[in-house]
Structure 1
Protein backbone atom coordinates (compact mmCIF):
# COMPACT_ATOMS: atom_id res chain seq x y z
CA UNK A 1 0.00 0.00 0.00
CA UNK A 2 1.00 3.56 -0.61
CA UNK A 3 0.10 6.76 1.20
CA UNK A 4 -0.13 10.12 -0.49
CA UNK A 5 -0.07 13.44 1.33
CA UNK A 6 -1.41 16.40 -0.67
CA UNK A 7 -0.74 19.73 1.03
CA UNK A 8 -2.20 23.09 0.08
CA UNK A 9 -0.42 25.96 1.88
CA UNK A 10 -1.85 29.45 2.15
CA UNK A 11 0.62 32.21 3.06
CA UNK A 12 -2.47 34.44 3.11
CA UNK A 13 -6.09 34.00 2.20
CA UNK A 14 -6.80 30.79 4.16
CA UNK A 15 -10.54 30.17 3.81
CA UNK A 16 -11.90 27.45 6.09
CA UNK A 17 -15.35 27.44 4.50
CA UNK A 18 -13.88 27.00 1.00
CA UNK A 19 -11.88 23.98 2.14
CA UNK A 20 -14.88 22.42 3.90
CA UNK A 21 -17.03 23.00 0.79
CA UNK A 22 -14.44 21.41 -1.51
CA UNK A 23 -14.27 18.36 0.77
CA UNK A 24 -18.05 18.02 0.96
CA UNK A 25 -18.43 18.29 -2.81
CA UNK A 26 -15.56 15.89 -3.57
CA UNK A 27 -16.40 13.17 -1.07
CA UNK A 28 -18.78 11.29 -3.38
CA UNK A 29 -16.14 11.05 -6.09
CA UNK A 30 -13.97 8.90 -3.81
CA UNK A 31 -16.65 6.64 -2.32
CA UNK A 32 -16.18 3.25 -3.96
CA UNK A 33 -13.32 4.48 -6.18
CA UNK A 34 -11.20 1.51 -7.29
CA UNK A 35 -7.76 1.51 -5.71
CA UNK A 36 -8.57 4.00 -2.92
CA UNK A 37 -8.73 2.40 0.49
CA UNK A 38 -9.06 5.62 2.51
CA UNK A 39 -9.13 9.35 1.90
CA UNK A 40 -9.02 11.97 4.63
CA UNK A 41 -9.76 15.66 4.11
CA UNK A 42 -8.08 17.73 6.84
CA UNK A 43 -7.14 21.32 7.51
CA UNK A 44 -5.23 23.37 10.05
CA UNK A 45 -6.20 26.98 10.55
CA UNK A 46 -3.13 27.41 12.78
CA UNK A 47 -0.77 26.36 9.95
CA UNK A 48 -3.01 27.75 7.19
CA UNK A 49 -3.02 24.47 5.30
CA UNK A 50 -5.41 21.95 3.86
CA UNK A 51 -3.90 18.47 3.91
CA UNK A 52 -5.52 15.49 2.22
CA UNK A 53 -4.23 12.00 2.92
CA UNK A 54 -4.93 8.98 0.74
CA UNK A 55 -4.26 5.29 1.19
CA UNK A 56 -4.00 3.52 -2.17
CA UNK A 57 -3.77 -0.19 -2.91
CA UNK A 58 -0.81 0.39 -5.26
CA UNK A 59 1.69 3.08 -6.17
CA UNK A 60 0.79 2.70 -9.85
CA UNK A 61 -2.87 3.55 -9.19
CA UNK A 62 -1.90 6.54 -7.07
CA UNK A 63 0.59 7.90 -9.61
CA UNK A 64 -1.92 7.50 -12.43
CA UNK A 65 -4.56 9.41 -10.45
CA UNK A 66 -2.34 12.45 -9.78
CA UNK A 67 -2.12 13.58 -13.39
CA UNK A 68 -1.13 17.11 -14.46
CA UNK A 69 -4.81 17.72 -15.32
CA UNK A 70 -5.94 16.74 -11.82
CA UNK A 71 -3.30 18.94 -10.22
CA UNK A 72 -4.47 21.89 -12.31
CA UNK A 73 -8.10 21.21 -11.35
CA UNK A 74 -7.48 20.97 -7.60
CA UNK A 75 -5.29 24.08 -7.70
CA UNK A 76 -8.34 25.94 -8.97
CA UNK A 77 -10.65 24.36 -6.40
CA UNK A 78 -8.42 25.01 -3.40
CA UNK A 79 -6.94 28.30 -4.60
CA UNK A 80 -3.38 27.03 -4.04
CA UNK A 81 -1.06 24.62 -5.82
CA UNK A 82 -0.49 21.37 -3.90
CA UNK A 83 2.70 19.67 -2.90
CA UNK A 84 2.38 15.89 -3.26
CA UNK A 85 4.38 13.28 -1.35
CA UNK A 86 4.22 9.50 -1.79
CA UNK A 87 5.11 7.30 1.20
CA UNK A 88 5.12 3.55 1.73
CA UNK A 89 2.77 2.24 4.40
CA UNK A 90 4.28 -0.42 6.65
CA UNK A 91 1.09 -1.20 8.58
CA UNK A 92 -2.43 0.10 9.22
CA UNK A 93 -4.41 -0.09 12.43
CA UNK A 94 -8.15 0.24 11.77
CA UNK A 95 -10.27 0.12 14.91
CA UNK A 96 -13.47 1.17 13.17
CA UNK A 97 -14.77 -2.42 13.07
CA UNK A 98 -14.50 -2.85 16.87
Structure 2
Protein backbone atom coordinates (compact mmCIF):
# COMPACT_ATOMS: atom_id res chain seq x y z
CA UNK A 1 0.00 0.00 0.00
CA UNK A 2 1.02 3.56 -0.62
CA UNK A 3 -0.40 6.83 0.66
CA UNK A 4 -0.50 10.06 -1.27
CA UNK A 5 -0.94 13.40 0.48
CA UNK A 6 -1.99 16.23 -1.80
CA UNK A 7 -1.81 19.67 -0.18
CA UNK A 8 -3.22 22.95 -1.51
CA UNK A 9 -1.97 25.99 0.43
CA UNK A 10 -3.73 29.37 0.20
CA UNK A 11 -2.49 32.72 1.44
CA UNK A 12 -6.11 33.43 2.38
CA UNK A 13 -8.36 30.91 4.06
CA UNK A 14 -10.26 28.32 2.06
CA UNK A 15 -14.00 28.61 2.48
CA UNK A 16 -15.13 25.43 4.26
CA UNK A 17 -18.39 25.21 2.33
CA UNK A 18 -16.51 25.51 -0.97
CA UNK A 19 -14.15 22.67 -0.01
CA UNK A 20 -17.14 20.57 1.09
CA UNK A 21 -18.83 21.27 -2.25
CA UNK A 22 -15.67 20.23 -4.12
CA UNK A 23 -15.57 17.01 -2.09
CA UNK A 24 -19.20 16.28 -2.91
CA UNK A 25 -18.73 16.89 -6.62
CA UNK A 26 -15.45 15.02 -6.96
CA UNK A 27 -16.42 12.03 -4.86
CA UNK A 28 -18.28 10.13 -7.57
CA UNK A 29 -15.37 9.59 -10.01
CA UNK A 30 -13.36 7.95 -7.21
CA UNK A 31 -16.06 5.52 -6.10
CA UNK A 32 -15.07 2.04 -7.29
CA UNK A 33 -11.80 3.29 -8.85
CA UNK A 34 -9.46 0.35 -9.43
CA UNK A 35 -6.59 0.28 -6.97
CA UNK A 36 -7.89 3.09 -4.74
CA UNK A 37 -8.83 1.95 -1.24
CA UNK A 38 -9.66 5.27 0.38
CA UNK A 39 -9.72 8.96 -0.39
CA UNK A 40 -10.45 11.75 2.06
CA UNK A 41 -10.99 15.47 1.55
CA UNK A 42 -9.72 17.53 4.49
CA UNK A 43 -9.30 21.11 5.65
CA UNK A 44 -6.78 22.08 8.32
CA UNK A 45 -7.69 24.00 11.48
CA UNK A 46 -6.72 27.45 10.23
CA UNK A 47 -8.36 26.90 6.82
CA UNK A 48 -5.23 27.67 4.84
CA UNK A 49 -4.60 24.13 3.63
CA UNK A 50 -6.98 21.79 1.89
CA UNK A 51 -5.61 18.26 1.83
CA UNK A 52 -6.61 15.11 0.05
CA UNK A 53 -5.30 11.79 1.31
CA UNK A 54 -5.36 8.67 -0.82
CA UNK A 55 -4.55 5.06 0.04
CA UNK A 56 -3.70 2.97 -3.02
CA UNK A 57 -3.08 -0.77 -3.36
CA UNK A 58 0.16 -0.23 -5.27
CA UNK A 59 2.61 2.52 -6.08
CA UNK A 60 2.35 2.21 -9.87
CA UNK A 61 -1.38 2.92 -9.84
CA UNK A 62 -0.88 5.83 -7.45
CA UNK A 63 1.88 7.45 -9.48
CA UNK A 64 0.13 6.91 -12.82
CA UNK A 65 -2.99 8.68 -11.54
CA UNK A 66 -1.22 11.98 -10.86
CA UNK A 67 -0.62 13.04 -14.45
CA UNK A 68 0.15 16.59 -15.55
CA UNK A 69 -3.46 16.79 -16.77
CA UNK A 70 -4.82 15.88 -13.33
CA UNK A 71 -2.50 18.35 -11.61
CA UNK A 72 -3.65 21.12 -13.97
CA UNK A 73 -7.29 20.19 -13.36
CA UNK A 74 -7.06 20.30 -9.56
CA UNK A 75 -5.03 23.51 -9.71
CA UNK A 76 -8.00 25.07 -11.50
CA UNK A 77 -10.46 23.66 -8.98
CA UNK A 78 -8.59 24.75 -5.83
CA UNK A 79 -7.01 27.88 -7.28
CA UNK A 80 -3.46 26.91 -6.31
CA UNK A 81 -1.11 24.14 -7.46
CA UNK A 82 -0.83 21.10 -5.19
CA UNK A 83 2.17 19.66 -3.40
CA UNK A 84 2.05 15.88 -3.91
CA UNK A 85 3.81 13.55 -1.48
CA UNK A 86 4.05 9.79 -1.91
CA UNK A 87 4.26 8.00 1.45
CA UNK A 88 5.08 4.38 2.17
CA UNK A 89 2.41 2.89 4.44
CA UNK A 90 4.20 0.61 6.88
CA UNK A 91 1.21 -0.14 9.08
CA UNK A 92 -2.54 0.30 8.80
CA UNK A 93 -5.51 0.03 11.16
CA UNK A 94 -9.00 -0.21 9.66
CA UNK A 95 -11.84 -0.10 12.17
CA UNK A 96 -14.56 0.47 9.58
CA UNK A 97 -15.85 -3.11 9.87
CA UNK A 98 -16.31 -3.02 13.63
**TM-score normalised according to structure 1 size:** 0.94
Task: Please state how far the C-alpha of 1:47 moved relative to its aligned partner.
Answer: 4.8
Separation of aligned partners in 2, 1:40 and 1:33: 14
Provide the residue aligned with 1:66 in structure 2: 66
Which structure 2 residues correspond to residues 1-98 of structure 1 after superposition, within 5 A? 1-98=1-98
**Number of aligned pairs?**
98
- In structure 1, stretches of 5+ residues that fail to align are none
Give the distance between the partners of 1:47 and 1:30, measured in 2 at CA.
24
After superposing on structure 2, the runs of 4+ consecutive aligned residues of structure 1 that deviate more than 4 Å are none
**Consecutive unaligned residues in structure 2, runs of 5 or more:** none
Q: Aligned-pair RMSD on alpha carbons?
A: 1.1
Q: CA contact under 8 A between 1:42 and 1:50: conserved in structure 2?
A: yes
Distance 1:65 1:22 in 2: 19
SS of residue in 2 equivalent to 1:81: coil
